[in-house]
Structure 1
Amino acid sequence: MPPTKDRYHHGALREELLRASLHLIETEGLAAVSLRKVARAAGVSPGAPYHHFADRSALLAALSSRGFELLRDRLAAACTSADTIMGTMIAMADAYVRFAREQPAYFRLMFRPELSQPEKNPETEHAGDAAFAVLEDAVAEAIHAGALPAAEADTLIMAWWAMAHGLASLEIDGKLVKRAGEMGTTADALAERITRLFAGLIETAQHTRSLE
């Protein structure tokens, strides 16, 4: 095997280690990831990963940060795809669930702080905050437009996150597909019905409040 420096330039080695880590999670689960095993999967010496990652948590933190960046981009794209405030909220929920379905390895890792250890690797928490900020900005815009009540902004943000994250978790665990099948529909259709119901409840509550 050629020396590491002959096989990868500096940036390429880091990317290859992240790719190998993601593949291990996809095929063997989170417990399979170790710096030694990742090095073997990448075809480099056991010491090579330490040029980029101090330990396993640093490696997982970098991978988790990448996941949050991808999620942030998807949520941001969803914000530009709808014509109405409620449409935006629905599109963002759909993007959240689709991300979990298409990137389950990232999703399973991103919300495991005991693995990425944000107290040692704060960049992961910053990446998560950036993704969350897309939702906060969307709600702030809805409040500014009068579509959502300002007094309940924080509650609405957490309610939306709980709904979207719950659907995403059910999706990657196979529960959403199973239940949708029992109901004679698809997972996508069921998730959309739930998010539309959620949006409708907010709209109804806002309308009722305006009449008081």
Structure 2
Amino acid sequence: MDVNYAPLVPHTRPRGSYHHGALREELLNACVRLIEVEGIGAVSLRRVAREAGVSPAAPYHHFADRAALLAAISVRGFEQLTERLRAALAGREQPRAAVVSLARAYVTFARERKGYFQLMFRPELSQPEKHPDARAAGDAAFAVLADVVAELDSPDPEALAVSLWAFAHGLAALALDGQLDHRGAELGTDADMLTARAIRLLDSMLG
């Protein structure tokens, strides 16, 4: 049982005072906060309800179960990532420069939206086979990269797109796990500088 947990933040809103749409929004936000502070393992509908300051039954008006809640967060995360990637392309006419900008935007998103990023690539939790909108949102984000890569002179653009995704995702994961901080300390630098150096290397390799 999880009745001994204290809320992450104090709640001033009376129980039951959310409008219908606002309740769903607050449940999503409360879940993301919980993931960022305590990890995905701490998430349950009851715990999220407590963090949102609503009754234990309230989440079931919007989400059938824990997986449905996590799928909704995954969808939102991929939508935000897609927006970031598209924004990174603004003013980038050359595909090579666009790819570098996409890699940088991907890593930045992961570091600034840690709660989302930790969940988005965990299909065993969000169950995209039951929630196809989660899979579609992920495909839309990848399509931004694939469209740019298609403009590069590559004999295998599909494999190149996957390789570039793996590069950016690996950097992001290492940054979130603290591995870049550890490696940077050993090299007399920091995670930001290591990331910048890796992306500059990617740029030169694409040339």
> In 2, Cα distance between the equivalents of 1:79 and 1:121?
29
> In 2, Cα distance between the equivalents of 1:187 and 1:27?
21
> In 2, Cα distance between the equivalents of 1:47 and 1:39?
8
1:197 has 2:201 as partner = yes
Deviation at residue 105 of structure 1 after TM alignment:
1.1
1:18 has 2:22 as partner = no
1:155 has 2:159 as partner = yes
1:173 to 177, 194, 198: 177
Deviation at residue 193 of structure 1 after TM alignment:
2.0
> In 2, Cα distance between the equivalents of 1:70 and 1:188?
22
Gaps of 5+ in 2: 1-12
Task: Please tell me the residue identity of whatever aligns with 1:171.
Answer: A
1:116 has 2:132 as partner = no
Q: Structure 1 residues 186 and 106 mapped into 2: Cα distance closer, same or farther (>3 Å)?
A: same
Task: Please tell me the residue identity of whatever aligns with 1:39.
Answer: A
TM-score with structure 1 setting the length: 0.87
Deviation at residue 195 of structure 1 after TM alignment:
2.2
Q: Structure 1 residues 3 and 178 mapped into 2: Cα distance closer, same or farther (>3 Å)?
A: closer
In the other structure, the counterpart of 1:207 is none
Gaps of 5+ in 1: 204-212
TM-score with structure 2 setting the length: 0.89
RMSD, aligned CA: 1.6
Which stretches of structure 1, 4 residues or more, deviate above 6 A after TM superposition? none
Deviation at residue 121 of structure 1 after TM alignment:
1.1
Q: Structure 1 residues 32 and 83 mapped into 2: Cα distance closer, same or farther (>3 Å)?
A: same
Counterparts of 1:23-172 in structure 2, within 5 Å, are: 23-82=33-92, 84-140=94-150, 142-143=151-152, 148-149=153-154, 151-172=155-176
2:171–2:195 contact (8 Å) kept in structure 1: yes
Task: Please tell me the residue identity of whatever aligns with 1:26.
Answer: E
Identity rate, percent: 57
1:81–1:91 contact (8 Å) kept in structure 2: no
Aligned length: 195
Deviation per CA, 1:101-126: give whole Å up to 9, x if none.
Answer: 11111111111111101111111111
Deviation at residue 197 of structure 1 after TM alignment:
1.8
Task: Please tell me the residue identity of whatever aligns with 2:52.
Answer: A
1:182 has 2:192 as partner = no
1:97–1:167 contact (8 Å) kept in structure 2: yes
